[in-house]
Amino acid sequence: MKDKYEVLVSSDTSGALGVWDPSTGNCLHQYKGGVTRANTLTWIKQDWLLSAPPDKPLLNVWLGSKAEQAPVRMFTPAPTQALSASPSGLYLAAATAETITLYLVSTGAVVGVVTRHYQPITVLAWTADSSHWISGGEDGQVLVWSLVTAVSRRQLPGREEASLGQVTPRYTWTGHALPVTGIHVGHGPAHSARVVSASLDMTVKIYSMTTGDMLLSVSLTTPVTSIAMDNVETSVWAGDKAGDIHKICLLSPPRDVCVTSDSQGVTSLSRGHEASVTHLSVSCDGLLLASGDSSGGTHLWDTASGQIIRSLPHKSAISHLSFSLTPPALVNKESWSPGSKLVPLQKGVNKDKFECAVFRKTDILVSDTDANVEDDMEMEEDRDTSSHTVEELKQINQQLYKYSLKHILNSR
């Protein structure tokens, strides 16, 4: 696999989760032991693979080089509907119903809880610099959240005192009238990125993170169920409920913000799917387009000619499909070691406590993953038994401070 620079990761509702070679159609690796819900599969620095089952309040966890699940029990407040890790690998956003819980990956601690949607959240996506994440819901809203605002424990400059602890989105886009089915965030830092969203209201919208304005809205003739954009951001691909895939060219923007597919010159790839297109992904070089539908059909298209090159076998509806640079864990499974460590997620919210831990690479045991869980349990027990000692030291330190301050003032 050393000569493979890009792979295709796919999963379906039957529990199949595999890594494919897009040039040959061969399966390179399989992950076993869990069913993946749509919009919940995410990588943590290409070391760990996480997903959520459809009806259980926990997460599936795989070490990148292993086929079986890792024995790390990560529970969530409720069944997770959308899951996404920041590109930096430091934070994990999990959506349950209308609430988004933000976790610090190194400790599993809850560092923020935000809620502004009034219907269940369907999709989450991060900006490339990990400074913002975007959420879309069944209420048609697309909200942009600032990471600094969500994790802040003190008053930020320019914010009112009454707003402390009440997280508000940076942008609130309410252009969609029906549930949001897909979000794609463009390249670059948050202040210059573009966000593409799709909805069952048959529209594809493009927003600017610089000003918060809507740049373009394209109306199609069928509900849009998936969205993707190439790396150079010249084309947007939209899959619809009828099984067709539409290409929206951004090289010649129209004069009007709201246009129809006919006036924009949208081209279509038809006769490829017989069911709703659930996922789309474009390769790094923009030459291949991967598409999956609700019946299990998975195709690789040549973007220049619009022809199907090959199909991949799946048994049920596709729940994830994305091109990715080849994970180092799969290049050399024997000598590779992860650069991050996963621990169980915090249960509940403790607003008075905030922790941050840094693990060294030598602290991670790859050969025996069970030892990681045992070490975590021992650390948790030690922390509980020493909590009273920490409180005593705080009281002593406070008394010493008051004593010193009193004598310094009296000496003057």
CATH of the domain at 255: 2.130.10.10
What does the pLDDT read at residue 329? 86
Paired tokens of 95: 């959506």
- Give the orientation angle of helix 369-385 with respect to helix 387-411, to 10 degrees: 50
Where is average pLDDT lowest: 32-36, 179-183, 303-307, 336-340?
Answer: 336-340
**Has residue 360 got a pLDDT over 50?**
no
Asked if residue 354 belongs to a domain, the reply is no
**Has residue 390 got a pLDDT over 90?**
no
**CA distances from residue 38 to 41, 248, 249, 286, 335 in whole angstroms, order as listed:** 7, 24, 27, 24, 32
Query: Are 89 and 45 within 8 A, CB to CB?
Result: yes
What does the pLDDT read at residue 6? 92
Query: Are 38 and 326 within 8 A, CB to CB?
Result: no
Where is average pLDDT lowest: 77-86, 210-219, 233-242, 332-341?
Answer: 332-341
Where is average pLDDT lowest: 169-173, 211-215, 265-269?
Answer: 265-269
**Has residue 322 got a pLDDT over 90?**
yes
Euclidean distance between CA atoms 296 and 375, whole angstroms = 41
For strands 258-260 and 214-219, give the pairing.
parallel
Q: Which of 284, 302, 331 is the last residue of a domain?
A: 331
Query: Are 309 and 288 within 8 A, CB to CB?
Result: yes
Its sign, for the CA torsion 11, 18, 198, 275, is: negative
Task: Tell me, yes or no, whether 91 and 193 share the same domain.
Answer: yes
**Which residue has 């299990």 as its token pair?**
296
Paired tokens of 308: 């199907």
Query: Are 87 and 96 within 8 A, CB to CB?
Result: no
| The model's pTM | 0.81
Q: For the chain, how many structural domains are there in total?
A: 2
Euclidean distance between CA atoms 264 and 247, whole angstroms = 10
Q: What is the DSSP letter of 98?
A: T
Paired tokens of 40: 């919940």
State whether residue 377 is helix, strand or coil: helix
What does the pLDDT read at residue 409? 67
Asked if residue 252 belongs to a domain, the reply is yes
Euclidean distance between CA atoms 251 and 264, whole angstroms = 11
Asked if residue 336 belongs to a domain, the reply is no
Selection from 83, 10, 79, 86 nearest residue 50 by Cα: 83
Q: Share the mean pLDDT of the chain.
A: 86
**Has residue 144 got a pLDDT over 90?**
yes
**Has residue 412 got a pLDDT over 80?**
no
Asked if residue 355 belongs to a domain, the reply is no
What does the pLDDT read at residue 153? 67
Euclidean distance between CA atoms 342 and 15, whole angstroms = 23
**Has residue 240 got a pLDDT over 90?**
yes
Asked if residue 94 belongs to a domain, the reply is yes
More confidently predicted of 281 and 268: 281
Task: Tell me, yes or no, whether 306 and 389 share the same domain.
Answer: no
What does the pLDDT read at residue 137? 96
Strands in 233-325 per DSSP E: 235-240, 245-249, 258-260, 267-269, 277-282, 288-293, 298-302, 307-312, 318-325
Paired tokens of 42: 């995410």
Average pLDDT over every residue of 4-8? 89
Task: Tell me, yes or no, whether 289 and 391 share the same domain.
Answer: no
Task: Tell me, yes or no, whether 317 and 376 share the same domain.
Answer: no
Asked if residue 139 belongs to a domain, the reply is yes
Average pLDDT over every residue of 61-86? 93
Range(s) of the domain holding residue 157: 6-331
Euclidean distance between CA atoms 189 and 119, whole angstroms = 29
What does the pLDDT read at residue 199? 97
Where is average pLDDT lowest: 248-257, 327-336, 392-401?
Answer: 392-401
Q: What angle do CA 154, 160, 166 make, to 5 degrees?
A: 65
Where is average pLDDT lowest: 66-75, 84-93, 201-210, 332-341?
Answer: 332-341
Query: Are 338 and 32 within 8 A, CB to CB?
Result: no
**Has residue 384 got a pLDDT over 90?**
no
Task: Tell me, yes or no, whether 23 and 127 share the same domain.
Answer: yes
**Has residue 128 got a pLDDT over 80?**
yes
Q: What is the DSSP letter of 344?
A: P
For strands 245-249 and 267-269, give the pairing.
antiparallel
What does the pLDDT read at residue 176? 96
Task: Tell me, yes or no, whether 308 and 382 share the same domain.
Answer: no
Selection from 204, 195, 201, 188 nearest residue 169 by Cα: 195
State whether residue 43 is helix, strand or coil: strand
What percentage of the chain exceeds 90 in pLDDT? 64
Task: Tell me, yes or no, whether 132 and 218 share the same domain.
Answer: yes
State whether residue 355 is helix, strand or coil: coil
What does the pLDDT read at residue 367? 41
Asked if residue 277 belongs to a domain, the reply is yes
More confidently predicted of 124 and 403: 124
Alpha helices in 173-326 (DSSP H): 261-264
